[in-house]
Chain A
Amino acid sequence: MSTLTGTPPRTGPTLSTVVAQPRPLRLLRHSLALAKRSLIKTWRTPEALIDVTLQPVLFLVIFVYVFGGAVAGSTHDYLQYLLPGILAQTIATGCIAIGVNLNTDIAKGIFDRFRSLPVPRSAPLVGAVFGDVVRYVIVTVSTLAIGYLLGFRVESGPVQALAGCLLAVLFALCLSWLPVYVGMKVRTPGAVQGVMFALIMPLSFASNVFVAAGTLPGWMQAVVTVNPLTHLVTAMRGLFLGTPVGNHVWWTLLWCAGFVAVFMPLALRAYRRRV
């Protein structure tokens, strides 16, 4: 370190300007800067995407070619029915990673650094959630691509199909506050995985992802009807296949708002207590 003979450069910011800015704007900008950090990490570790890209392939192939004939009479009909459901299921399980990652991050000390900077306290969590949008887009695109290879076709139009994809990504974005909350509460990354799997698995099977609700016993139908994934799947089927959407888009948006309203404050509070 022979270069250390001089004085350290001190061309710092004029800090008085920092406080003057409105809070929400700062939160947004800082969150975006931190989202970029998540993006770089995703880019550097593409193997972390394997679970969410491989899972829909396995589910599609197994369910379409094993159960397709029995459930829907033909594999093609079942693929048309199943793909929106598998997309919803994959995006819901894809959320789990954010809780696991944040739980790992907190143990490492980088969050202490963020908290010692004049950065809004919630920015690291909001940034991590924003940063995951790219993951969800990758999941959506790859699932649709595999579907197309297997013979899935959009029967509505490009605008409706795009709306369906956006709805799925928005749902994931809002639902991810639940794993973020679990990630703040639970002690180890493994436990986050376990808790989230126990929540998401029943959610995705007790829905109309695989079969229509009409074939189920009454009590189960009641569960399926209120399940947020059912609303998402029905809305997406309508948007992809041109079937009636009903008010399922609105129900889905309502659930999205609910996830954020409940789990975001809980997660932020747990974060403040944790670190």
Chain B
Amino acid sequence: MIEAEGLVKSFGRTRALQGVDLAVPQGTVLGVLGPNGAGKTTAVRILSTLLVPDAGTARINGLDVVRQAERVRQSIGLTGQYASVDEDLTGRQNLELFGTLLELGRAGARRRAAELLDWFDLAAAANRPAKTYSGGMRRRLDLAASLVGSPDVIFLDEPTTGLDPAKREDMWDVVRSLVTNGATVLLTTQYLEEADALADAITVIDHGRVIAHDTPDGLKRIVGGQTLEVRPTDPAQLAPTAAILSRVGSGAPADEIRRGVLAVPVADDSALTESVARLAAAGIAVTELSLHLPSLDEVFFTLTGRTAADDDTTRTEVAA
């Protein structure tokens, strides 16, 4: 269980957090969504005892992250842009080192390392230095390293940034099985899609403040839900396709968003199967048909009236 109230943290003149509340009930996943520089990583570093907040309090399983930091560290696992592994050590040596530091004993550390290497499909690469690992293997080793002590609260700081879509879904599977096993997870991400796939609740942070907190469905209702995109094989079929989409969708289909592609807002996933059935019945062949969540940019635009990219530039100017 993670609880944080009124977290404030400044670095010089940069106000990274300006009063952030977060709550993650036991056994659930909170997605913390925000652009670069929103304060996501600062919040994770405070909750994982790496930083002391200027004001506010935070508790992990009821233990204060400042006054009871030592005990908090026994029940958390941290994976992210910053918490890393030793590149000169092999995968196995890394995991055994963390096992020793977590008081598993020599045999215990060895057994735990073997289990995790197996589970993360790293057994074949176990005796190679971590610097020879591919991006996906590195992430898996990072995550394995944070699970050595079987923590029940896990922080994942942008766990899939820079991974290709297939690797991203692998990582999602890992997170899902951790939660099935009873872990409480706080996940930061820049992808609404990722938060939607994994989180029970989503907190949106901007400029060090919480600007929205809701379930994924609730958030999607605010920002307009999903969009169905269709590309008919024959461009001459655009008009009849648009007619079908207007019946399936929850609004009027937009004109071609890209050359030959139509888009329509839809209420839920069932629109996908329904449109496939109707297009087939009408004999319209399609080369592309997909559901899209609004991008982070669109979420931000709806919530703040600015785009996330604008936000980045302002921050850089402030920092400079």
What is the interface of chain A, defined by CB distance below 8 A to chain B? 1-4, 6-13, 15, 17-19, 30, 33-34, 36-37, 40-41, 44-45, 108-110, 112-119, 275
A17 to B103 CA separation, bound complex (whole angstroms): 9
A63 to B50 CA separation, bound complex (whole angstroms): 51
Name which residue of chain B comes closest to A42, CB basis.
B88
Using known A-B contacts A17-B103, A118-B73, determine if residue A11 contacts B173 with beta carbons closer than 8 Å.
no
Whether A15 contacts B181 by the Cβ 8 Å rule is no
Contacts A13-B108, A19-B70, A110-B85 supplied; 11 other A-B pairs, CB < 8 Å:
A2-B121, A3-B119, A108-B87, A113-B85, A113-B146, A114-B101, A116-B50, A116-B73, A116-B83, A117-B102, A119-B73
Interface string of B73-104 (1 = CB under 8 A from A): 11111100111111111000100011011111
Whether B149 contacts A110 by the Cβ 8 Å rule is no
Q: Which residues of B contact A41 (CB under 8 A)?
A: 86, 88-89
CB of B112 closer than 8 Å to a CB of A = yes
State the 9 A-B residue pairs at the shortest beta-carbon distance, nearest first: A12-B150, A109-B84, A9-B115, A118-B73, A116-B78, A15-B74, A33-B100, A113-B83, A109-B82
Using known A-B contacts A15-B74, A44-B88, determine if residue A4 contacts B102 with beta carbons closer than 8 Å.
no
Using known A-B contacts A7-B177, A40-B89, A118-B74, determine if residue A112 contacts B97 with beta carbons closer than 8 Å.
no
CB of B190 closer than 8 Å to a CB of A = no
Residue among A12, A19, A108, A110 with most chain B CB within 10 A: A12
Whether B83 contacts A112 by the Cβ 8 Å rule is yes
How big is chain B's contact interface, by range?
35 or more
A2 to B119 CA separation, bound complex (whole angstroms): 10
CB of B67 closer than 8 Å to a CB of A = no
Whether B73 contacts A8 by the Cβ 8 Å rule is no
Interface string of B105-124 (1 = CB under 8 A from A): 00010011001101111000
A-B pairs with beta carbons under 8 Å apart, 10 shown: A1-B120, A2-B121, A6-B177, A8-B174, A9-B112, A12-B149, A13-B104, A17-B103, A34-B101, A37-B89
CB of B185 closer than 8 Å to a CB of A = no
Nearest CB on A from B177, distance (A): 6
CB of B233 closer than 8 Å to a CB of A = no
Q: Which residues of A contact B140 (CB under 8 A)?
A: 1
Whether A37 contacts B97 by the Cβ 8 Å rule is yes
A2 to B169 CA separation, bound complex (whole angstroms): 12
CB of B188 closer than 8 Å to a CB of A = no
Q: Give the number of residue pairs across the A-B interface with Cβ within 8 Å.
A: 129
Q: Which residues of A contact B214 (CB under 8 A)?
A: none
Whether B174 contacts A117 by the Cβ 8 Å rule is no
Residue among A36, A37, A116, A118 with most chain B CB within 10 A: A116
Nearest CB on A from B133, distance (A): 14
A15 to B170 CA separation, bound complex (whole angstroms): 30
Nearest CB on A from B46, distance (A): 12
Partner of B129, one of A15, A18, A37, A44: A44
CB of B71 closer than 8 Å to a CB of A = yes
Dominant SS among interface residues on chain A: helix
Name which residue of chain B comes closest to A3, CB basis.
B121
CB of B145 closer than 8 Å to a CB of A = yes
A3 to B177 CA separation, bound complex (whole angstroms): 12
Whether B178 contacts A8 by the Cβ 8 Å rule is yes
Partner of A117, one of B45, B88, B149: B149
CB of B227 closer than 8 Å to a CB of A = no
A41 to B88 CA separation, bound complex (whole angstroms): 6
Whether A13 contacts B115 by the Cβ 8 Å rule is no
CB of B189 closer than 8 Å to a CB of A = no
Whether A45 contacts B173 by the Cβ 8 Å rule is no
CB of B192 closer than 8 Å to a CB of A = no
Q: Which residues of B contact A7 (CB under 8 A)?
A: 177, 180-181
Partner of B83, one of A9, A19, A109: A109
CB of B241 closer than 8 Å to a CB of A = no
Whether B88 contacts A116 by the Cβ 8 Å rule is no
A129 to B71 CA separation, bound complex (whole angstroms): 27
Whether A30 contacts B118 by the Cβ 8 Å rule is no
Partner of B150, one of A2, A13, A17, A116: A13
A221 to B16 CA separation, bound complex (whole angstroms): 55
Nearest CB on B from A274, distance (A): 12
Using known A-B contacts A13-B108, A118-B74, determine if residue A8 contacts B119 with beta carbons closer than 8 Å.
yes
Name which residue of chain B comes closest to A36, CB basis.
B97
Nearest CB on B from A259, distance (A): 27
Whether A113 contacts B78 by the Cβ 8 Å rule is yes
Whether A117 contacts B98 by the Cβ 8 Å rule is yes
Partner of A33, one of B97, B112, B116: B97
Nearest CB on B from A242, distance (A): 43
A139 to B177 CA separation, bound complex (whole angstroms): 51
CB of B58 closer than 8 Å to a CB of A = no
Whether B82 contacts A112 by the Cβ 8 Å rule is yes
A4 to B76 CA separation, bound complex (whole angstroms): 22
Nearest CB on A from B121, distance (A): 5
Nearest CB on B from A8, distance (A): 6
